[in-house]
Chain A
Amino acid sequence: MKVEVGFRLNGYEVRAEVEPHLRLLDVLRDTLGETGTKEGCGEGECGACTVLVDGAAINSCLFPVCEAAGTSVMTVEGLAEANGALSPIQRAFLDHGGAQCGFCTPGIVMAGVALLAENPNPSDAEIRYSLTGNLCRCTGYVQIVAAIRAAAVATRGERGD
């Protein structure tokens, strides 16, 4: 039995007929074709599937799609502007080498967005702690932490803090 689920995705209303047991990750990737969000484990261990639901970072591989009904979901595809201009955090990942293979990157970028929304001026330790659920096998995290630190400065600058 399929059910209809509707939510806002990156600012637009979407609606899909889905099997109710599906995970938000499946619906984003397979039903809606937004493959930016990755599956690295399917068990809530790696954070590659991190998206924001009503602003909170969640593992979409553990999130039943039905619980997304009526919420506002933000994925990595929602960050850049329509003309392709990268958001400050994406720009910072580019400038600081925060992505290597890039498979963890969409999830880590979204975790970073959530962190900076909550704490615009995090210390390195706070950045590291907030990323505990996001594994990266390539970078050793050093350039990721540098990117988020730089994004914090850029975001504050943009807002004029």
Chain B
Amino acid sequence: MTDLLHIGRDVPRPDGADKVGGKALYIHDITRPGMLYGAIKFSEHAHARIVRIDTSRAQRLPGVRAVITGDDVPEVRFGFMRDNLALKKGKVRQFRDEIAAVAAIDPDIAKEAVDLIDVEYEPLPGLFTTADALADGAALIHETDPTGRPVTSNLVPAACSHRSGDLEAGKRASRFVAEGHYTVPRIQQASLGTAGCIAEFDLNGNLTVTAKTQIPFLAQRDFTNALRALGIKDKNVRVVVPAVGGAFGSGLDTHAYEYISILLAWHTGKPVKILYDRYEEFAYLSPRQSAELFIRQGCDENGKLTFREIEVTQDNGAYVSWGATYPNVMLVAATSLHRVPNVYFNATIVYTNNTYCQAMRGYGNPEVTWGIETNLEELAEKAGIDALEMRLLNCNQPGDVTPMGLNLQSCGLRECLEGTAEALDWDRTRSVSRRPGRGVGMAALINVGGGGKIYRSDGSGIILKLDDFGNVNVSYGGVEMGQGLHSALSLMVAEAVGVLPERVIINQTDTATAPWDVGTHASRGAFMAGNAARIAGARLRERIFALAEQVYPGEVERNLAALGEGEGLDEFDFRSVTRDGFDLRNGWLLCKDAGDEPWLRVELGRFLRAAHFAKEGGTGTMFTEEAFYEPPTDLPDWSAGYGNMSAAYTFGVQGVEVEVDEDTGEVTILRMVAVTDGGRVLSRQAAEGQLYGGIVQGVGYALYEEVHSSEGRILNPGFTDYKIPTAADIAFPIELQWVETNDPEGPFGAKGLGEAGIVPTAPAIANAIYDAVGVRIRDLPITPEKVVQALAAKVGE
């Protein structure tokens, strides 16, 4: 790709002005005429039988329009294993289970009514660890599967494993082996804008849901299924996405509150809004899933990796959502981060009475990378090899096909390693003995960068519609949730069509107008949208140039009449330019082989009007093109852990320098560097924003974030007790460098960037701490207490 006019520029985001002006409309800001407010009665037990629900006092409260329980409405099942009910019946399995709901004329009345609902429970013993839930004779959290067949254990039936090469042979060939247990906690996505939706039926029975979601089309399917459960068939469900106040994975599934607002809207005939407050967001929305990892890796006497063995156990909580599929994504790094010949991976997902878990940025990858990249440094130390050298020795190369079958068409990992080492001045700063209390560390990453096929289609459609004035209206089904999708997309559409980025108008995401899209996750938005835009843009150009053969000469004559002259007129026959001779650049129709004289240029809007309002005898022409891009990937066989699930792979390395106070255990980050191969950078500002934001979330994950719970009850449901990084915490420089490989499948050479930032931060920090003070923390978050304890244990050794 040569001659790019806009890709890679540092330009403001198209949705930026409304955001800095307070004009962007989030779910919080939207009301509808006659709208009611919904509120939910949540369980007060982690595991109990529901004996009786008394809603009579709530019903009598003035201003209440409806009170519903699972007994009043048809059963609405959801979740990809269909084990969850919008309103629970018979039994609660976690503290946040939805038991009843109210619609009222204002939010305060709705909440007051919820407090008037009395529920009598018969408490059951709860299971709060994976070990307890898997113990012989453990009570069953779900006695049957969704079809009513009895089950025999608390295992979630989501097999995910991998075996390649010959593990035993790999072990025999090993000179050094390192093994350990590593854990990561549940953490909160903690979007600043809380969750919410508005459901509303029109009088034809069609449903519109305005939803804070990342999956408008899968939500449309889910809500259509919910209507079927209500006996409403053959109606239209429309999902409209307002401005999204951050999501980070929390919008990747449909939620009980959405079905409840649909039920309340159906019951009352009014629009019903449910909006979570911060407490509800923390206590009743699904966090990132925790993980327990056992990792063993070996190498030969030179440091070449010989095998990798990973056993993962995850506490799924009470119902299945996407948390249960983290292992599918873990497979990518487990099999393919560094060249490793013999790999074993197995995951066990367990139902417990804890809060059920969901997606968050990186989706299994930060978890498994935490284990792999800290364990790798333990192995390097045993082998007496520098950790950087070990990574370089085993570095992935472009063209590699990994044990999982991932096809690494572009790979800049080596450059990322070298760039990080240079920025950290590795040779002089690394080593505990040189500078007591100070150390440097690094960790590498591989992440899907061209979608991640976990559903039967990983595709995205786009519609590009030209108006009479040279604007391109874009309908795309993916969601801008802050990540900068619209920044990248406006540049790519501008490039693909040949207009200025400011003439690209991206419509609100709406299932009624946009073609299908699987959802915005797996760093896929810009990659998919861009590839679809390239196809649609090429079609538009082809059609414009074909019609230009007829329209262009007349428009040039108008130019000449207006200008009174034309330089070079004698040398160039503008009347017989054929379709191959045209170009469209920045909104001007031009001839490739002629100069850039004003008389030869036709403004796109003028051309479009001439095409639309055809002269007598002609037919009018409008220009709208649609394209659907399905990436050339495989839906992996999860039980074999094999398949090229992404069309491109993103690589990166983060380096950290820390200072550790040996008395307090306090870790101070002095600087960070991230060198990333995300292919060609599309929008510099957006790309940098994704990296900075991801890294800082990674710092929180590494050092302080954890959802604390006791017997299933969340103990820190607010920003007072759940700390996310503040501006003052990020008092160190973060240096970003780009290794711009040009990926053959990426739009304009780009690969996905949304998740990369958070993936290796925690192991990089842990490795730097080890370098500084010689203690290895294997359980996130790395709190000062853990550091102090580890230091004390080291002294005791």
Q: Which residues of A contact B (CB under 8 A)?
A: 29, 34-43, 45-46, 48, 75-77, 79-80, 86, 90, 93-106, 109, 125, 127-129, 131-132, 134-145
Q: Are the CB atoms of B193 and A35 closer together than 8 Å? A: no
CB-CB under 8 A from B694, the residues of chain A are: 140
**Is A106 within 8 A of B22, CB to CB?**
yes
Judged by DSSP, the binding face of A is: loop
> Given A38-B28, A46-B192, A139-B692, are A94 and B22 neighbors across the interface (CB < 8 Å)?
no
Q: Indicate whether B795 reaches chain A with its CB closer than 8 angstroms.
A: no
Instruction: Give the residues in chain B near A29, CB-CB below 8 Å.
Output: 29
- Additional A-B contacts beyond A45-B718, A101-B244, A102-B15 (10; CB < 8 A): A43-B278, A46-B278, A94-B16, A97-B685, A97-B689, A102-B19, A103-B193, A103-B245, A105-B22, A142-B730
- Give complex CA distance A41, B20 in Å: 20
Smallest CB separation, B738 vs chain A (Å): 15
B482 touches A95 (CB 8 A): no
Q: Are A80 and B693 in contact (CB under 8 A)?
A: no
With both chains docked as a complex, state the minimum distance between the C-beta of A119 and any C-beta of chain B, in angstroms.
15
B692 to chain A, nearest CB (A): 4
CA of A135 to CA of B192, assembled, Å:
8
Q: Is the CB of B727 within 8 A of A145?
A: yes
Q: Is B667 an interface residue (CB 8 A)?
A: no
Query: How far, in whole Å, are A96 and B692 apart by their CA atoms in the complex?
Result: 13
For the complex, give the distance between the alpha carbons of A80 and B21 in Å: 7
Q: How long is the Cα–Cα vector from A79 to B731 in the complex, in angstroms?
A: 29
Bound: A137/B729 CA distance, A: 13
> CB-CB < 8 A to A98: which residues of B?
20
Q: 3 shortest A-B CB distances, which residue pairs?
A: A36-B22, A101-B482, A102-B19
Q: Do residues B22 and A76 form an inter-chain contact, with CB atoms below 8 A?
A: yes
Given A45-B718, A140-B693, do A100 and B193 touch, yes or no (CB 8 Å)?
no
Contact A35 B22 (CB under 8 A): yes
Q: Give B contacts to A, CB under 8 Å.
A: 12-13, 15-26, 28-29, 189-194, 243-248, 277-278, 481-484, 685-686, 688-689, 692-697, 718-720, 724-728, 730-731, 734
A140 touches B696 (CB 8 A): yes
A143 to B12, CA, bound (A): 12
Closest to A139 in B: B693
A127 to B692, CA, bound (A): 17
Give how many A-B residue pairs fall within 8 Å (CB-CB): 176
25 contacts between A and B (CB under 8 A): A35-B29, A38-B192, A41-B719, A43-B719, A45-B278, A46-B278, A46-B719, A76-B21, A79-B21, A86-B20, A96-B685, A99-B20, A100-B484, A101-B247, A102-B19, A103-B26, A131-B727, A137-B246, A138-B689, A138-B693, A140-B696, A140-B725, A141-B730, A143-B685, A143-B692
Q: A99, B21: Cβ atoms under 8 Å?
A: no
Q: Given that A99-B19, A101-B191, A104-B192 are known contacts, is A94 also in contact with B727, CB under 8 Å in the complex? A: no
User: Chain B contacts of A102 at CB under 8 A?
Assistant: 15-16, 18-20, 24, 243, 245, 482
With both chains docked as a complex, state the minimum distance between the C-beta of A39 and any C-beta of chain B, in angstroms. Answer: 7
Given A103-B192, A103-B193, A137-B246, the answer on whether A109 and B482 have CB atoms closer than 8 Å is no
Closest to B691 in A: A140
Report whether A100 and B728 are in contact in the complex, using a CB–CB cutoff of 8 Å: no
Q: Is the CB of A41 within 8 A of B278?
A: yes
- B-chain residues with CB within 8 Å of residue A90 when the two chains form the complex: 17, 20-21
Cβ B731 vs Cβ A128 within 8 A? yes
Tell me, in angstroms, the Cα distance from A103 to B689 when the chains sit together: 15
Known A41-B718, A41-B719, A42-B278; judge A128-B728 contact (CB<8 A).
yes
CB contacts (< 8 Å) of B21 on chain A: these are 36, 76-77, 79-80, 86, 90
Given A75-B22, A97-B688: A135 in contact with B17 (beta carbons within 8 A):
no
**Distance of A105 Cα from B694 Cα, bound (Å):** 18
How distant is B656 from chain A, measured CB to nearest CB, in Å? 14
Among residues of B, the one whose C-beta sits closest to the C-beta of A100 is B482
Closest chain A CB from B732 CB (angstroms): 10
Contact residue among B18, B23, B25, B719 (Cβ-Cβ distance under 8 Å from A135): B719
Inter-subunit contact A140/B734 (CB<8 Å)? yes
* Closest partner residue, chain A, to B191 (CB atom): A137
| Beta-carbon contact of A137 and B248 below 8 Å | yes
**Contact present for A77 and B22 (CB under 8 Å):** yes
Could you tell me the distance between the alpha carbons of A34 and B21 in the complex, rounded to whole angstroms?
11
Give the residue name and chain of the A residue nearest to B15 (CB).
A102
Distance between Cα atoms of A129 and B24 in the complex (Å): 27
Q: Which residues of A contact B194 (CB under 8 A)?
A: 40
Contact partner of A132 (CB less than 8 A), chosen from B25, B189, B718, B728, is: B728
**Given A46-B192, A48-B192, A101-B245, A134 contacting B727 (CB threshold 8 A):** yes
Give Cα distance in the complex from A141 to B231, angstroms: 49
Closest to A96 in B: B685
Cβ-closest chain B residue relative to A141: B727
Task: Say whether B17 contacts A142, CB under 8 Å.
Answer: no
Residues of A within 8 A of B695 (CB): 140
On chain B, the residues within 8 Å of A140 by CB distance are: 692-697, 725, 730, 734
Once bound together, how far apart are the Cα atoms of A70 and B16, in whole Å?
33
- B25 and A103 contact, CB distance less than 8 A: no
For B481, the closest partner residue in chain A by CB is A101
Q: Are B693 and A38 in contact (CB under 8 A)?
A: no
Q: A132 near B727 (CB under 8 angstroms)?
A: yes
Please tell me which one of the listed residues A77, A86, A97 contacts residue B17 in the complex, with CB atoms under 8 A apart. A86
Minimum distance in angstroms from B15 CB to a CB of chain A: 7
**Do A137 and B190 have beta carbons less than 8 Å apart?**
yes
B192 touches A99 (CB 8 A): no
Instruction: Check A127 against B720 for contact (C-beta < 8 Å).
Output: no
CB pair B484–A93 under 8 Å, yes or no, is no
On whether the beta carbons of B28 and A43 are closer than 8 Å, the reply is no
Which of A34, A97, A109, A129 is close to B728, meaning CB atoms less than 8 Å apart?
Answer: A129
Contact pick for B726, options A42, A109, A135, A139, CB 8 Å: A135
- The smallest beta-carbon distance between A98 and chain B, in angstroms, is 8
Task: Given A36-B22, A139-B689, A142-B734, decide whether A103 and B246 contact each other with a Cβ distance below 8 A.
Answer: yes
Interface centre among A42, A48, A138 (most CB of B within 10 A): A138
Closest approach, in angstroms, between the C-beta of A37 and any C-beta of chain B?
Answer: 7
B481 partner residues in chain A, CB cutoff 8 A: 101
Nearest chain-B residue to A147 (Cβ)? B20
Interface contact A100-B483, CB-CB below 8 Å: yes
Of A43, A86, A97, A128, the residue contacting B730 (CB under 8 A) is A128
Partner of B12, one of A43, A94, A127: A94
What is the minimal beta-carbon distance from B691 to any residue of chain A, in angstroms? 8
Contact A94 B689 (CB under 8 A): no
Q: How far is the CB of B179 from chain A (nearest CB, A)?
A: 34
CB pair A93–B693 under 8 Å, yes or no, is no
* Interface-central residue, B192, B484, B692, B726, by most chain A CB under 10 Å: B192
